[in-house]
Amino acid sequence: MSALLEIRHVTRRFGGLVANSDVSFDVAPGEIVGLIGPNGAGKTTLFNALVGIYPPSEGEVIFNGQPIAGWKPHRIAKAGLTKTFQNVALFAESTVLDNVVTGGLVNRSLPEARALAARILDRVGLRAIADKRAGDLSFPERARVEVARALCTEPKLLLLDEVMAALTPIEMEEIITLVRGLRDEGMTFVVVEHHMKAVMKLCERLVVLNFGEKIADGTPEQITRNQKVLDAYLGAGFSTDAEAH
Ligand X SMILES: Nc1ncnc2c1ncn2[C@@H]1O[C@H](COP(=O)(O)OP(=O)(O)O)[C@@H](O)[C@H]1O
How many residues make contact with ligand X (CB under 6 A)?
Answer: 11
Contact 133, 165 (CB under 8 A): no
Give the whole-angstrom CA distance, residue 86 versus residue 130. Answer: 21
Q: How far apart are the first and last CA of the chain?
A: 35
Amino acid of residue 131: D
List 20, 23, 44, 129, residue binding Mg ion (CB under 5 A): 44
Provide, rounded to whole angstroms, the least separation between the CB of residue 128 and Mg ion.
30
Amino acid of residue 111: P
List 14, 138, 166, 219, residue binding ligand X (CB under 6 A): 14
Q: List binders of ligand X among 31-50 (CB under 6 A).
A: 37, 39-45
For 168, phi then psi, to 5°, come to: -75, 160
Q: How far is CA 45 from CA 13, 73, 85, 111, in A?
A: 10, 14, 11, 34
Q: Which is nearer to ligand X, 119 or 139 (CB)?
A: 139
Contact 37, 47 (CB under 8 A): no
Provide, rounded to whole angstroms, the least separation between the CB of residue 12 and ligand X.
8
Which does residue 17 bind out of Mg ion, ligand X, none, counting CB within 5 to 8 angstroms by kind?
ligand X
Provide, rounded to whole angstroms, the least separation between the CB of residue 13 and ligand X.
9
What element of type H or E holds 111? helix 110-123
Q: Which is nearer to ligand X, 39 or 239 (CB)?
A: 39
Annotate each residue in 64-103 with x if it binds Mg ion (CB under 5 A) or - if it does not, as one string: ----------------------x-----------------
Burial of residue 102 (number of CB atoms within 10 Å: 0-12, 13-18, 19+): middle
List 5, 7, 10, 19, residue binding ligand X (CB under 6 A): 19
Provide, rounded to whole angstroms, the least separation between the CB of residue 38 and ligand X.
7
Provide, rounded to whole angstroms, the least separation between the CB of residue 196 and ligand X.
15
Provide, rounded to whole angstroms, the least separation between the CB of residue 199 and Mg ion.
14
Q: What are the beta bridge partners of residue 59? A: none
Do β-strands 157-161 and 188-192 pair in parallel, antiparallel, or remain unpaired? parallel
Give the whole-angstrom CA distance, residue 92 versus residue 141. Answer: 13
Q: Which is nearer to Mg ion, 86 or 153 (CB)?
A: 86
Which does residue 14 bind out of Mg ion, ligand X, none, counting CB within 5 to 8 angstroms by kind?
ligand X
Residues 6+ apart with CB under 8 A from 54: 12, 14, 45, 48
| Region near Mg ion per CB under 5 A, out of 30-38, 42-50, 152-160, 218-226 | 42-50
Per CB under 5 A, residues contacting Mg ion are 43-44, 86
Per CB under 6 A, residues contacting ligand X are 14, 17, 19, 37, 39-45
